[in-house]
Chain A
Amino acid sequence: GDSVTQTEGLVTLTEGLPVMLNCTYQTIYSNPFLFWYVHYLNESPRLLLKSSTDNKRTEHQGFHATLHKSSSSFHLQKSSAQLSDSALYYCALSGGSGNKLIFGTGTLLSVKP
């Protein structure tokens, strides 16, 4: 079945350094949608960005990601981390297996001064 892998459980960064959170996926569906959700403490998880277009960069709120079907990846990046970026980040997949999102285990990003 469909699956999403996020290899880092915790990423700790100093403010101003670049962010890269890894996401790879598995699906037999040739046109999946990939999503990044951000979950701040005591709030709802909310969409950060999404894509289904191969090799096209998608950007929102300073973050960007590019879907690479050749490597089944959708890594999240930001050029300069801010303290306010500290949150839990989930990568998610909507493949061919019906109308639902399959989530990765999440990466907790902690940005320090």
Chain B
Amino acid sequence: GPKVLQIPSHQIIDMGQMVTLNCDPVSNHLYFYWYKQILGQQMEFLVNFYNGKVMEKSKLFKDQFSVERPDGSYFTLKIQPTALEDSAVYFCASSLLGTGVGNTLYFGEGSRLIVV
């Protein structure tokens, strides 16, 4: 089936440093998402992105977070500066159309971020 690729699969970073998580979504998809999962907890919505713009973000999407997809390349999540509470697995997802019309989200395998 359609694949979403995430790079890196895991990263350890010092608190205060910047990290960029990269996502290669399904090629013809139009909607992109980031979810955050702290160990043992549920996947929580961070942000969605369509037509070059953030459509919606949750309260977990702090000011230190940003997303972009320059010229149809990787969809990226940047955290600058990182904090200890940013340690989690970040899942990227994409969908052809919005979930409001029942479209399926396709997920990557996640990027495990450890902030020390």
Question: Which residues on the A side are within 8 Å of B102 (C-beta)?
Answer: 33, 50, 52, 94
Q: How far is the CB of A101 from chain B (nearest CB, A)?
A: 6
Interface bits B22-55 vs A (CB < 8 Å: 1, else 0): 0000000001010100000111110010100001
Task: Please state if A99 and B43 are interface contacts (CB–CB under 8 Å).
Answer: no
A98–B48 Cα gap in the complex (Å)?
Answer: 10
Task: Please state if B4 and A100 are interface contacts (CB–CB under 8 Å).
Answer: no
Task: Please state if B109 and A44 are interface contacts (CB–CB under 8 Å).
Answer: yes
A105–B100 Cα gap in the complex (Å)?
Answer: 21
Question: Which residues on the A side are within 8 Å of B43 (C-beta)?
Answer: 45, 90, 103
Number of residues on chain A facing chain B (CB within 8 A): 23
* B107 contacts chain A at the CB level, 8 A cutoff: yes
* B105 contacts chain A at the CB level, 8 A cutoff: yes
Q: How far is the CB of B97 from chain A (nearest CB, A)?
A: 8
Q: Please name 5 pairs of A and B residues whose Cβ atoms are closer than 8 Å in the assembled complex, sorted by A.
A: A44-B4, A44-B108, A50-B104, A99-B95, A103-B42
Given contacts A45-B43, A50-B104, 14 further A-B contacts (CB under 8 A): A33-B102, A35-B104, A37-B107, A44-B4, A44-B109, A47-B104, A47-B105, A98-B48, A98-B98, A99-B48, A99-B99, A101-B105, A103-B44, A105-B42
